[in-house]
Amino acid sequence: MQLETMYQEIILDHYRNPHNKGLRDPYNAESHHINPTCGDEVTLRVTLAPEGDALDGSATVKDVSYDSLGCSISQASASVLTDLLIGKSVDEGMRVLDEFTALMQSKGHGEPDEDVLEDAVAFAGVSKYPARIKCALLAWMAWKDATAKSLATEKEGAS
């Protein structure tokens, strides 16, 4: 029985009791992502707080809220994402995203940095199941997208 390598207790906990679920106002940008193979969806909102005058990579991720429909892996990963990213700067968040993406593509051979990924290290087992990687990444892609939109909107506004 290998099930436990994928469904770590941490994952099942986040799945059963998701953090920060439910869309909140106000927000800078929203993005809606769908996994075309299974139809799972996430709508995710990002609120950024500028560090200095401009909204850039130094801005703080003030809030992330989401609504979603999907499997345990996609639900848990959205929940873990909010815990990890809220309070970090955008640049730091992108680093976490890169680390998480690398872990997901590691085919089970990744050595996750627990200092960076915290609870998200529990997803190491998922990387052995290629069909589930998209589930784990769904909310992360939506966060990347919404964050990019937030920064772009700000730029447009400024120009």
| Residue choice 9, 37, 156, 157 for contact with other proteins (CB under 8 A) | 37
Categorise residue 33: left if φ over 0, alpha if ψ from -120 to 50, beta otherwise.
beta
Least distance (Å) between residue 34 CB and other proteins: 6
Site for other proteins contains 7 (CB under 8 A): yes
> Residues 135 to 154: which contact other proteins by CB under 8 A?
135
Q: Which of 59/73 has CB closer to other proteins?
A: 73
Question: In this structure, are residues 31 and 44 in contact, taking their beta carbons and an 8 Å threshold?
Answer: yes
Place of tokens 């850039």: 56
The footprint of other proteins on residues 112-131 (CB under 8 A) is 129-131
Distance, in Å, from the CA atom of 11 to the CA atom of 81, rounded to the nearest integer, reads 12
> What's the closest the beta carbon of residue 131 comes to other proteins, in angstroms?
4
**4 φ, ψ (degrees, to nearest 5):** -65, -25
Q: Is 9 in the site for other proteins (CB under 8 A)?
A: no
Q: How many CB atoms lie within 10 A of CB 12?
A: 14
Q: Is 73 in the site for other proteins (CB under 8 A)?
A: yes
Nearer to other proteins, 70 or 110 (CB): 70
Q: CA nearest 117: which of 134, 137, 97, 135? A: 97
Preceding omega of 26 cis (within 30 degrees of 0): yes
38 binds other proteins (CB under 8 A): yes
Contact residues for other proteins, defined by CB under 8 A: 1-3, 6-7, 12, 34, 36-41, 69-73, 129-132, 135
